[in-house]
Amino acid sequence: RRLINPSLLWVGGGPNRSRATLVRAARLHGTACSSQRGLWSGEEVTQLTTTWHSDIVLEASEAVGSAEAWHGWEVPSWGLSSLPPLRRVGPVASLSAARQAWSPLCQAAPRYVPANRTLLRSVVDGPEDPKLLALGPAARRRPSASPATTPATDP
């Protein structure tokens, strides 16, 4: 499995992000394929199922390095390798007690290929990409943006 689609959020700190907390999240993603014989509309078929395994990982820790390091695309200068590892996040508490896992969240309608009597299924067993948002007093402060992310404006 691989980490994909990361999200970063700075919380607190001064103009130089001193004493700031860096919240990191990403999607832990992998796929698996299986094949089995079965029936589809009374016809014997080969069923191919692709399962998309997905989890959310998260960590919040004191920011490292300097604010200037984050203004460029030199990833090693960001200091992420010295931060604690990301931890897997379980299902949210508001899900019903009967559903202890994310599965089955999404299963598209299967696609039948009559030429070779194959039924194609796709199953997603976890959450999509995380998005980090600042809520409360931190959300009312104007976030700082690096030149690479600052939108151009007309004079």
pLDDT tens digits along 34-68? 999 999 999 999 999 998 888 888 888 876 666 67
Phi, psi torsion values for 18, nearest 5 degrees: -70, 140
In 3D space, the residue among 138, 134, 113 whose CA is nearest the CA of residue 8 turns out to be: 134
pLDDT band at 92 (very low <50, low <70, confident <90, very high): low
**pLDDT of 73 above 80:** no
Report the predicted TM-score, pTM, of the whole model to 2 decimal places: 0.61
pLDDT band at 114 (very low <50, low <70, confident <90, very high): very high
